[in-house]
Structure 1
Amino acid sequence: MKTPITAALVLACLLAAGTAHARPGNNVADPQAARALPADGPVQVQWNDPSGFAELRQSRNRWEAQRGDWVVKLAEHLRKQAARELPGDQQLAVTLTDIKRAGDYEPWHGTRLDDVRFMRDIYPPRISLQFTLTDAQGQVIDQGERKLVDNAYLYGPTRLSDTDPLRYEKRLLDDWLRRELRQDRSTAGL
């Protein structure tokens, strides 16, 4: 009599432990997940609710598209790279308003490939963002909205050893930062 009860108790504990891993951080659309990086340094990055991002709205495998912490990783990369490019007395605030990652799921290949992201030129990375660049006194130097896209993402410079699943989106952000923060631009927004 004790064996079935013990087995049921062990099974219940295992199920509870298994669901503990499926908490915020594993789902970018979780309503309890953070929507900004903690304030730290001259670059602040926040983002809109990822459930409204094209990556989730247009995905052929929404469950797989919302897995992971890819929004946070992109925000952290943006902060790190912007801090390198930004002159010491300036501050940058960025809001990621939409993201469509490079590649897409193609369910017609069968269930064994449901979680495989196919990289084709018809699925370029796209990132929309709003930004404000200010000087040391808080005066606005530049601000605006940008819609970034890299239609030639498959043909750009990528090391064969680069296995980062966000390499195309990170390169898109890096290119934007170099253009936006370059010192020799003659007018805002060029």
Structure 2
Amino acid sequence: MRVFSRTMLAACALALSGGAWAAVSVSYTQPEKFSDLPFSIAERERILKELSAHFLILGKRLPAGQNLNVEVRDIDLAGREERTGRTADEIRVLRGGADWPRISLRYTLESNGQVLDSGEAKLSDMAYMDKLNRYASGDRLRYEKRMIDDWFAKQFKAAPRG
């Protein structure tokens, strides 16, 4: 987890016309103190890597030459972890009540060294189980990804390419 507590830098570049690049970097501030991540360290790391990869995919929507830096400050995943009987295994139970997903982050969007946009965002989706979701039911982060997609589209007015 130490790698993630400092910075999980995920750099993604998309070569566009004229050789320009768009890049995204994602860092996690003290993920061991996040509100809700799996108990297993390996599962926590998998979740953080998957969220970083999702931000990178979204970054491909940004215009060439723009760089997005995201600092995730807290995560509360949809549902709750519950132990499965006598084993040490946990499952995530989604009830649709007060267990909606939440993510707190800071972001900076830059181009040519100039800040275009920056701020803090508190993402949440209280009706996470009542909306259509384009992510597969087997995707453990389908509610969080949809929530991030909605924020990204609204904040950066960046529609999907292609």
Question: C-alpha deviations, 1:68-113, integer Å up to 9, x for none?
Answer: 21011101111111222x1113221111111111100245x84469
Amino acid at match of 1:143: S
Provide the residue aligned with 1:102 in structure 2. 78
The aligned amino acid for 1:155 is D
The 4+ residue runs of structure 1 with deviation greater than 4 A are none
Query: What corresponds to 2:19 in structure 1?
Result: none
Q: With the length of structure 1 as denominator, give the TM-score of the two structures.
A: 0.67
The percentage of aligned residue pairs carrying the same residue is: 37
In the other structure, the counterpart of 2:60 is: 83
2:11 and 2:56 in contact (8 A); partners too: no
For the residue of structure 1 that corresponds to 2:7, the secondary structure is coil
Change (3 A) 1:159 1:180: closer
Of 34, 37, 54, the match for 2:9:
37
Q: Secondary structure at the match of 1:80?
A: helix
Tell me the equivalent position of 1:74.
51
Between Structure 1 and Structure 2, the one with more strand by share is: 2
Instruction: Tell me if the contact between 1:37 and 1:76 (Cα under 8 Å) persists in the aligned partners.
Output: no
Q: Partner residue of 2:131?
A: 156
User: Is the 8 Å Cα contact of residues 106 and 118 (structure 2) preserved in structure 1?
Assistant: yes
* Counterpart residue number, 1:144: 119
Cα separation, partners in 2 of 1:168 and 1:113, compared to 1, 3 Å: farther
Match for 1:31: what amino acid? R
Gaps of 5+ in 2: 14-22
Contact 2:10-2:56 within 8 A present in 1 as well: no
**Mapped contact 2:34–2:74 kept (Cα < 8 A):** yes
Are 1:93 and 2:64 matched, yes or no?
no
Change (3 A) 1:87 1:158: same
Larger radius of gyration: 1
Report the TM-score when normalising by structure 2: 0.78
Higher relative helix content: 1
In the alignment, the residues of structure 2 paired with residue 161 and residue 63 of structure 1 have an alpha-carbon distance, to the nearest angstrom, of 24
Q: Return the alpha-carbon distance in structure 2 between the equivalents of residues 36 and 114 of structure 1.
A: 27
